[in-house]
Amino acid sequence: MKKNKISKNWVNKQRRDIYVRQSKVDGYRARSVYKLIEIDEKFKIFKGGMSVIDIGAAPGSWSQYVSKNVKSGKIISVDIKEIQQIPNVIQIKGDFTETNIQDQIKSFLKKGSDVVMSDMAINTTGIKNIDAIQTGELCKEAMVFSSDVLSKKGYFISKIFMGSTFNEIVALGKKLFKEVKVFKPKSSRKDSKESFIICKNLR
């Protein structure tokens, strides 16, 4: 009974959500694309000819946006789930934390990547502190990986939750990058503790 009530509330929230409706109009697979659009509008990140790695890409809306805005570039999307094909995107199915998947990603790069971006979050347990910690660990792994593949002036973009790991992640960002900003897009739900960390220029 309780589960049905939660499901019904979620469906009603989705129906009322202007970004869910807009994503259908614009042909994007998820509302999360508008977070990336806001990040790009604020920080002016994407341009033609770039190499971009999208970690935790499913269902693919971030890769969709980049494929429209990075002409003649290289986009590599990675997820443990199957992603429906996106034009001009190299898709890798697997867990990015595994060495063989990271090697596969690197094999597509002739030189460093310009952007590594991640909207990854673990499958939630409903216990917010645990979810924040586990998602924070994924963010740190993605950040360390990005420091290995990014070009000197490259960008790292990742979801980050306010919680016990927040300061730790920001500190790691400052250790690896010269510029670190935290930004909460308007399209991020008000009741969500998520923000995004945007790091630029490797040390």
What are 161's two structure tokens?
């939750």
Q: Which residue has the tokens 């090697």?
A: 103
From 35, 74, 159, 200, active-site residue: 159
Known active-site residue 159: yes
Q: How many CB atoms lie within 10 A of CB 84?
A: 9
Question: What stretches of 28-96 show up as alpha helix (H) in DSSP?
Answer: 33-43, 61-69
Q: Are strands 51-55 and 113-118 parallel, antiparallel or unpaired?
A: parallel
What are 147's two structure tokens?
């420091």
Length of the chain: 203
- Residues labelled catalytic: 159
